[in-house]
Chain A
Amino acid sequence: METLNYRNKAQQRAKGTRSQAIVGVVASGNLEVLVERILPDGECEVDIRTAAEGFGDVWQAVISDFVERRSPGGLKLSINDGGARPDTVALRLAQALSAVEGDRT
């Protein structure tokens, strides 16, 4: 298992008023994302525990892209990962943001 943590500056606060949401399950090639609205508006933190070790650069690229495109300000995302591919991670991050912003996924 490997633990990773990334802190990014976000352009703006994530929409909506929901305090929390969870998407996905921990399984082979899948992951869960727990999103909590507990940070200052301009910050986004991502905590990762992953079964696939040595992919820190890929995680950093996927998360930087997510923060830049979606601006999830104020959110802490906690991830339990069962070895998901980057495209699945990107999908779950987008679903988590939609869920906490109040959209239907």
Chain B
Amino acid sequence: MSTLALDNAQVERQPFVSTDSWYEASARQRVEGLLDANSFVEFLGPEAREMSPHLSLFNLPEQFDDGMVVGWGRIDGAPVLVAAQEGRFMGGAFGEVHGAKLTGLLRAARDIASVPVLILFDTGGVRLQEANAGELAIAEIMRALMEARFAGVPVVGLVGGRSGCYGGGGLIAGSCSALAVSEQGRISVSGPEVIETNRGVEEFDSKDRALVWRTMGGKHRRLIGGVDVFADDTIESFRDAARYLIELVPTLTLDTLEAEQARLAQRIRDFGACADALDVWRALGATEPESIPALSYEAFVALANRLQEPRHDAR
């Protein structure tokens, strides 16, 4: 371990490229921008070449970090553990190694018991070429995540990447202590194409982008209380959200879970009869729900805070 730490300390990182958009940034750029300058130390970096054992069987190209960047760094001087998915490599999908790196990080967080974890989601779900290993990874991650939370560790998810947060990624996000999402971030389990394929175009038209965004997008998730903070699409805004949520998260107890159950039951009572997100927003008290998708960041935050205070008691 000491040798590994030394090797990692010598690793030089890709310089931070001048994009301020979280959506446009790579996993490594997000990590660099989120943490204090030059504080990031990667575990199992690309030089370790810890790659998927499955992709070569399908004659598919590998990536040196298997699309998952894990390590630790500092925010305002305080240590945090960080995991970031690269959404452009195989849609950020979970494979065996990709998942194991996050499992290991969460188990370390559980054992340390005092350092919060940030998960930068950008994923379409499980990698189909290694589906069994990927599904097992999802289960292991969720168990490790809950163990870390029970040990008192805040686990905060940040969602705003091009692949959104789907499939098993949506389940892991739902297990987090708190979430921040941008308008571009989408959170769900089955994606638009999956729903259309299984239930028909009358159920869900995946080509109707406005429908996709108002059903799964960040604004809707914020309005129904699925996330705690609505972030602007900037690295600075996600940094502010992470800083805020790390401080905010209460310890996980049975009371927390019962409060979450009650909150979800209330959500069904309030919105169960709604056929569309527009109906949900109307039921919440929005007078012009049709205007919400076009609202600016500032205008939407003001509206969301008026319609519904962020719920911190549950999850």
Contact = CB atoms under 8 A, between A and B. Distances in A.
B17 A30 contact: no
How many B residues are at the interface, by size bracket?
A: 20 to 34
A105 B15 contact: yes
Contacts of A36: 47
A102 B46 CA distance: 18
A105 B17 contact: yes
B44 to A, nearest CB: 13
Interface string A26-63: 11001010101000000000000111000000000000
A23 interface: yes
A32 B14 contact: no
Nearest to A30: B88
A100 B61 contact: no
Interface in B28-80: 28, 46-47, 56, 59-64
Nearest to B13: A21
Contacts of A98: 15
A11 interface: no
Contact of A99 (B14, B60, B64, B86): B14
B244 interface: no
Contacts of A18: 12
A24 B64 CA distance: 11
B26 interface: yes
Interface of B: 10-18, 26, 28, 46-47, 56, 59-64, 86, 88-89
5 contacts: A1-B60, A1-B61, A19-B10, A26-B63, A34-B46
Given A22-B46, A100-B12, A104-B16, 20 more contacts: A19-B12, A20-B10, A20-B12, A20-B47, A21-B12, A22-B14, A22-B64, A25-B86, A27-B88, A30-B88, A32-B46, A36-B47, A49-B61, A51-B61, A80-B62, A80-B64, A81-B61, A99-B12, A102-B12, A105-B17
